[in-house]
Amino acid sequence: MSKPLILVSNDDGITSKGIRKLVELMAQIGEVVVVAPDSPQSGMGHAITVGDTLRLSEADIFGDIQAFKCSGTPADCIKLAKHEVLKGRKVDLVVSGINHGSNTSISVLYSGTMSAAIEGAIEGTPAIGFSLCDFSWHADFSHVDEYVLKIANEALKNGLPKGIALNVNIPPKQNEKIKGIKVARQANARWEEEFDKRKDPHGRDYYWMIGNFVNHDKGEDNDEWAIANNYISIVPCQFDLTGHHAFSHLNEKWDL
Is 39 annotated in a binding site? The answer is: no
Is 111 annotated in a binding site? The answer is: no
The residue among 239, 199, 12, 222 whose CA lies nearest residue 117 is 239
| Residues pairing with 199 in the sheet | 205
- Return the percent helix, strand and coil in the chain, to nearest 5: 25, 30, 45
Would you call 211 helix, strand, or coil by DSSP?
A: strand
Give kind and range of the element (H or E) at residue 255.
none
The residue among 163, 42, 146 whose CA lies nearest residue 103 is 42
- Cβ atoms of 20 and 62 within 8 Å: the answer is yes
Q: What is the DSSP letter of 91?
A: P
Task: Report d(CA 124, CA 136) in Å as an integer.
Answer: 33
Q: What is the DSSP letter of 55?
A: -
Is 12 annotated in a binding site? The answer is: yes
Q: What angle do CA 132, 215, 112 make, to 5 degrees?
A: 40
Residues belonging to the binding site for a divalent metal cation are: 11-12, 42, 99
| Known binding-site residue numbers | 11-12, 42, 99
